[in-house]
Amino acid sequence: MHNRQVKLLASGKYLPRRKLTSADMDRLLGVPDGWVQKKSDVVVRHFIEDETASYMGAQAAREAMRQAGLRPGDIDCIVCASGTQEQPIPCNAALLQKELGPEWSGIPAFDMNSTCLSFLVALDVISYMIEASRYRRVLIVSSEIASTGLNWQDKQSAALFGDGAAAVIAVRAEETESSRIAHTAIRTYADGAELSEIRGGGSRLHATACNGDNREDFLFRMDGQAIYRMASKLLPDFTKELLDAAGTRMADFRLVIPHQGSAMAMRLLRRKLGIAEEQLLYITPNHGNTIAASIPMGLHEAMTQGRIRRGDRILLLGTSAGMTLGGMIIDY
């Protein structure tokens, strides 16, 4: 086990103003009535109007700061943990700091990206820096805009995603507190790297190469069935090793907060891992898949709705492009 005396102090969330129902998506995708909800289980999701990722992230961050009763000077570090970029340079965190205002100037700000598991990875890495007293209070923000990169010809993927942002403030827990990160495991299996990708926009296929013939290279592509098969094969052993290392059982968790990948992924989690219905926090129907923001959004819902209390053991769990598996056991 790798215990770290780190506490999740407060959270915030922002959803864009534009709300699309499954019926709206049926019309946009040109499919029969009810098709989107049947395939994705998403009843409503939010898409940006004129919002930017940095604007959404700033709104979520401000809510978290209000909940914590903190001022900008109380924060030692800003980490943006997102799978999408507002622009290639500078990093999302610099743009977020600018959006937050001049009183945030000078605070170190940088990005961590492991696509859908970016928040989990960022919390894991930054917890060691908090444990080592490098930082005392860290603002971690995941802000995702999926809607602008969707391939509307890939109807099953397009039906699933939503936009939004979430923020969490992580701090050093007092010795007398029970809050801690008990254990984390991350595994990457790169033979699944091509199953979920956007090929264009980087140095291999630069934006200047985009034309009518290769436009799909610059849009999101996902082989959902292949990802499901790979996750189905890998997740049970991965989760068993994670729980064994922490000396815990699935029944010990008050709540399991997964990456909200798809309805199919949620069924896989429950069936393969033995997660009880009341343990699983499922926000896909009213959020969609919000990429890296989905886990901290789930945390925010759990924290603000009182579904977890101090001392409760919770599990963050999911997969991301790469293919990466990640799990974190937290004593909240």
Instruction: Report yes or no: 166 and 300 within 8 Å, Cβ to Cβ.
Output: yes
Query: Two tokens at 211?
Result: 């034309």
Neighbours of 301 (CB within 10 A): 19
* The one catalytic residue among 46, 116, 183, 300: 116
Same domain, 142 and 185: no
Q: Domain boundary residue among 123, 144, 172?
A: 172
pLDDT band at 232 (very low <50, low <70, confident <90, very high): confident
Q: Is 300 a catalytic residue?
A: no
Classify residue 1: in a domain, yes or no: no
* The one catalytic residue among 46, 259, 287, 300: 259
Separation between Cα atoms, residue 254 and residue 331, nearest integer Å: 10
Instruction: Report yes or no: 298 and 75 within 8 Å, Cβ to Cβ.
Output: no
**Least confident span in 42-56, 168-182, 249-263, 303-317:** 249-263
Q: Is 210 a catalytic residue?
A: no
**Least confident span in 60-69, 138-147, 174-183, 265-274:** 265-274
Separation between Cα atoms, residue 199 and residue 195, nearest integer Å: 11
pLDDT band at 1 (very low <50, low <70, confident <90, very high): low
Domain range for 318 is 180-331
Instruction: Report yes or no: 163 and 60 within 8 Å, Cβ to Cβ.
Output: no
- Which secondary-structure segment (H or E) carries 78? strand 77-81
Number of H helices, E strands in the chain: 10, 13
pLDDT band at 211 (very low <50, low <70, confident <90, very high): confident
Burial class (CB within 10 angstroms; exposed 0-12, middle 13-18, buried 19+) of 138: buried
Rounded percentage of the chain residues whose pLDDT exceeds 90: 78
Q: Domain boundary residue among 122, 149, 172?
A: 172
Q: Domain boundary residue among 138, 172, 206?
A: 172
- For the cut 90, the answer to whether the pLDDT of residue 193 exceeds it is no
Write down the mean pLDDT value for the chain: 93
Q: Is 116 a catalytic residue?
A: yes
* The one catalytic residue among 77, 183, 289, 300: 289
